Amino acid sequence: MRPLKRVLQSETIVRVFCWLASLYIRLVFHSGRWQVVGGDIPKRFWDEGKPFIIGIWHGRFLMMPYCWDHEKTVYMLISQHRDGQLIARTIGHFGVKTAAGSSTRGGAQALRTMVKALKNGDYVGVTPDGPRGPRMRASDGLISVARLSGVPIIPAAFGCTRGRVLSSWDRFLVAGPFGRGVIVWGDPIYIDRDVSPEIEETVRRQVEDGLNAVTAEADRLTGRTPVEPDPGSRREGGTP
């Protein structure tokens, strides 16, 4: 067992670790200068009380809590493995609720939870290339949530001038404090409830392209070298 995993066997240490991680995210945001591009798009939905699904690549998940209007309830789809639960407990400090599951474990229950939340007027977040990739390739899971709920997907991403891209499968961007950052929103993508399998694949690619576009724009605006999508084949998934 790796040292970090051994340490994280302790409930007390896990609690402290997630609390410190939330403090770091707050530090990054409040010490930086942040710009929001396309913020009128989600604001229109928030103001009208209309639910939507926010789509974010796994590697751009860190600043997700600050994409959000904290007066609105959002459920984030989180996998049930250890890393996912660390993420869930960290973002819980920002009032973000979680729906636990993935395509391989607890997926059906998580899907029902998300669709119910959306029908109740709440909001849902999904990382459609998680939990294992391939990087920046959208899974069918996100499409299923949108199709069953009848609400649009709105892509979002963040970029920053200070920070580091890890060598992990998702090229996770760890933003640094005291820098300049940007949050970019894309146009909503609607999926018809009765979409055919052929059209569903077209829509999946549209979602993938939309997420890659906002991510590339966030990198461009912050002078960061763009992260390229994994050239490997697509896998089903959709959770951190």
Tell me what pLDDT residue 85 has. Answer: 80
CB-based burial label for 121 (10 Å; 0-12, 13-18, 19+): exposed
Mean pLDDT of the region 218-230: 96
Task: For residues 20 and 198, give the distance between their C-alpha atoms in angstroms, rounded to a whole number.
Answer: 46
Q: pLDDT for 79-134, tens place per residue?
A: 776 777 888 899 999 999 988 765 445 567 888 889 999 999 999 999 999 788 89
List the alpha helices (DSSP H) in 32-139: 40-48, 82-91, 107-119
Cβ atoms < 10 Å from Cβ of 7: 12
Residue ranges per structural domain of the chain: 3-221
Q: Which has more pLDDT, 195 or 27?
A: 27
| Chain center to CA of 81 | 17
- At residue 75, the 3 state secondary structure works out as strand
For the question of whether the overall pTM of this predicted structure is more than 0.85, the answer is yes
Tell me what pLDDT residue 100 has. Answer: 73
CB contact burial 196-218 (16+ within 10 A = b; e otherwise)? eeeebeebbebbbebbbebbbbb
Q: Is 38 left (phi over 0), alpha (psi -120 to 50) or beta?
A: left
Q: In CATH, what number does 3-221 get?
A: 3.40.1130.10
Tokens 């609720």 belong to 97
